[in-house]
Structure 1
Amino acid sequence: MSYLATEKQTALSAVTLASKLTEKIFRSLAGASTVSKDDKSPVTIADFGAQALVNAVLARDFPEDPVVGEEDSAVLQGNTELKAKVWDLVRGVVEEGLPGLIKDEEEMCAMIDRGSYAGSDKGRMWALDPIDGTKGFLRGGQYAVCLALIKDGEVELGVIGCPNLPVDKTAGIEAEGVERGIITHAIKGQGSFQRSLHSDSGDAQVTMRTISSTAEATFCESVESGHSAHTTQHSIATALGITAPSVRMDSQSKYASIARGSGDIYLRLPVSATYEEKIWDHASGVVIVEEAGGKVTDMFGKRLDFGMGRTLRANKGVIAAPVGVHGRVMEVVRGVMGDNIVAK
């Protein structure tokens, strides 16, 4: 059996289950049931349901492994109506696919709260974002269910479920009449792969596009300007000679897209001197892009350090690009950003 084969199957099962739950919730509720977190980003019942399902699968197969997850059950504990809605949907998925996985509302909340681990640079832990790109989910755009296994601060396994990405990597994200829903996954040292979320067509290896110059590249960037300054990225694109329009989408779907050649460069530029990236926003994507032939560092060429807790506080910004042009992209980013970045 290959390295981490059991962990991979568990992660694929968990992400597939959670991805299908999010689809079901969007179809039935059209994203109507939301609450506001302190940072004002919307949280849907899908976030809570997906985290409960993924953590329950992990608890079943790897009960000793801690989880760094984005959500906790405090909002549900204070809102019995919302908790009942989440449980009704989670129970339906459990009864259909994994009877007995979660027995009641309270166990569901306990599973959500398994994501409270503070993080460490020693031993194994999982990083989970139950819905990365919640605003994309709400608008019917791109979002992702992201799960990564981290060992001693290094990402060893990444799985990203992208329910709204076309299976055909050559199809645009707005294409009509195409099959949608993919699961992208990678184990360190074993390559990156894609499978359909809904059809049993098996795994297909994915690789980044081979480009000889940054002028041939396409940016893949966030829809939300608050996540990465669009005007700065436009200046960087101009300096790199890029003329193709950027592909804009939410979530770690961007990592999945560039890994399969549907884009080439992803930048996450700091919009605040004090902001620290969360580990669950990047862990899965890093290993998937690197195993597809890319390189991911911060703006100073440092590898992303997932052993510092729940954030990437040792890093500033993120640059993901094909290995051959990564250095040039980093040079231009630092030149354009100038005094707006602070070396760490």
Structure 2
Amino acid sequence: MSSYAKELQVAQLAVQRAAILTKRVFHEKAKGTVSKDDKSPVTIGDFGAQALIISALKASFPDDEIVAEEEAAQLRQDANLRQTIWDLVKTAQLSDSAAEGLLGGGIKDEETMLTMIDYGNSKGGAKGRIWAIDPIDGTKGFLRGGQYAVCLALMVDGDVKVGVLGCPNLPIDDAAPLSGGMESGQTDEGRGVLFSGVLGQGATSRPLTTGVLATEKSISMRAITDIAAATFCESVEAGHSSHGDQAEIAKLLGITNPSVRMDSQAKYASIARGAGDIYLRLPVSATYQEKIWDHAAGDLIVREAGGAVTDIHGKPLNFSIGRTLADNKGVVAAPAAAHAQVLEVVQEVLAKK
């Protein structure tokens, strides 16, 4: 088996199983709601997906540390919410029995589920093997029926080695162009993609399925001969990235295509397979620090697809400091050949502020 082959297979199967759970949660619990109270669909999906992924990781790599977003204290105090999530986790495991032999024996009871969720309390850092999980990246996209991602990455001594993104509402067709309707109202038909990357081994996509993995295809970023023909991806929420600065950057680059707004690391996945070209996340706060689980998998997949990813100062994203990207500000992701040109304009625009 090639380097990190087992880690990749376990990560793919775990993310796929968790992504199927989130789809079930949306159809059974959400149905277009935009609520995010403590019993909201996103809360249920977050906990359930995190429990499934950590269970799979602990079965194969019991000594690895895990950085994840959720902790189980809320569930220990709320029996009804705990039961709801446990029922979904049981169903997810039973409906995905084809993967069970590779993912271990699964979660047997509610208490084990809570224990698994709480394994995500690592502080991160520059030493050892550490997994980073975002069980539902793109909360509002998930609730709208738009773009969200189930995200998992393995870091070894602070360097990302394996990245997997489950994007249930992206088109299966890698050649499908980005459109302005990506942020809501997506249907299951023809949608659901699992993206993967291993350092030095390239990036792939395959349809999301249940059980065994579908056949993969190699993906790569689109070669840009004229930067003016590029397409931007940006966050839906202005609170996540400065839309005004991005519009000015697009103007200076001569880009006239409308930017496509979507939530989550689906933006990384979209540019990695050439559906878009440039992803900018421009700082909106001097003090905000990005979370490592929001970028680790996407950063690797874009780089393995022929892209370059830095912050606004041109520094690579540093995942070795802890649970945040404390050493970085913002994100600039673009095809390697065009990255320097995009970065120069980003710095020019931000210098005026």
Same fold (TM over 0.5): yes
Match of 2:200 in 1: 189
| Structure 2 counterpart of 1:211, from 224, 233, 237 | 224
| Structure 1 counterpart of 2:269, from 227, 232, 256 | 256
Cα deviation, residue 123, structure 1 = 1.2
Match of 2:288 in 1: 275
Structure 2 residue runs without a partner (length 5+): none
Higher deviation after alignment, 119-128 or 90-99: 90-99
Cα deviation, residue 229, structure 1 = 1.3
Match of 2:306 in 1: 293
1:115-141 residue CA offsets vs partner (Å, 9 max, x unmatched): 110001011100100010011000100
1:217-264 residue CA offsets vs partner (Å, 9 max, x unmatched): 100111111111111111111111110011111000000000000100
Q: 1:292 to 1:34 in 2, by over 3 A?
A: same
Match of 2:316 in 1: 303
Cα deviation, residue 297, structure 1 = 0.6
Higher deviation after alignment, 124-133 or 213-222: 213-222
Cα deviation, residue 87, structure 1 = 0.8
TM-score of the superposition, structure 2-length normalised?
0.91
* 8 Å contact from structure 1 (residues 214, 242) kept in 2: yes
Code of the aligned partner of 1:123: G
Cα deviation, residue 81, structure 1 = 1.3
Higher deviation after alignment, 272-281 or 96-105: 96-105
Cα deviation, residue 49, structure 1 = 0.2
* 8 Å contact from structure 2 (residues 34, 144) kept in 1: no
* 8 Å contact from structure 1 (residues 215, 243) kept in 2: yes
1:25 matched to 2:25: yes
1:119 matched to 2:124: yes
| Structure 2 counterpart of 1:131, from 132, 136, 156 | 136
Cα deviation, residue 27, structure 1 = 1.1
* 8 Å contact from structure 1 (residues 44, 134) kept in 2: no
Higher deviation after alignment, 83-92 or 167-176: 167-176
Cα deviation, residue 103, structure 1 = 1.3
Code of the aligned partner of 1:113: D
Higher deviation after alignment, 59-68 or 77-86: 77-86
Percentage of pairs with the same residue:
55
How many residues are aligned here?
337
Cα deviation, residue 178, structure 1 = 4.9
Cα deviation, residue 100, structure 1 = 4.1
**In 1, Cα distance between equivalents of 2:41 and 2:208:** 25
Q: 1:43 to 1:201 in 2, by over 3 A?
A: closer
**In 1, Cα distance between equivalents of 2:346 and 2:77:** 45
SS in 2 for 1:183: strand
**In 1, Cα distance between equivalents of 2:172 and 2:107:** 31
**In 2, Cα distance between equivalents of 1:276 and 1:212:** 34
* Equivalence map 1:39-188=2 (5 Å): 43-96=42-95, 97=97, 98=100, 100-171=105-176, 172=178, 174=181, 178-188=189-199
**In 1, Cα distance between equivalents of 2:167 and 2:43:** 17
**In 2, Cα distance between equivalents of 1:190 and 1:44:** 35
Q: 1:177 to 1:121 in 2, by over 3 A?
A: closer
* 8 Å contact from structure 1 (residues 228, 271) kept in 2: yes
TM-score of the superposition, structure 1-length normalised?
0.93
**In 2, Cα distance between equivalents of 1:22 and 1:266:** 25
**In 2, Cα distance between equivalents of 1:297 and 1:262:** 20
Q: 1:176 to 1:62 in 2, by over 3 A?
A: closer
* 8 Å contact from structure 2 (residues 42, 143) kept in 1: no
Cα deviation, residue 33, structure 1 = 10
**In 1, Cα distance between equivalents of 2:209 and 2:12:** 13
Match of 1:224 in 2: 237
**In 1, Cα distance between equivalents of 2:37 and 2:325:** 24
Match of 2:334 in 1: 321
**In 1, Cα distance between equivalents of 2:315 and 2:269:** 22
Higher deviation after alignment, 173-182 or 46-55: 173-182
SS in 1 for 2:248: helix
Structure 1 residue runs without a partner (length 5+): none
SS in 1 for 2:71: coil
Q: 1:188 to 1:177 in 2, by over 3 A?
A: closer
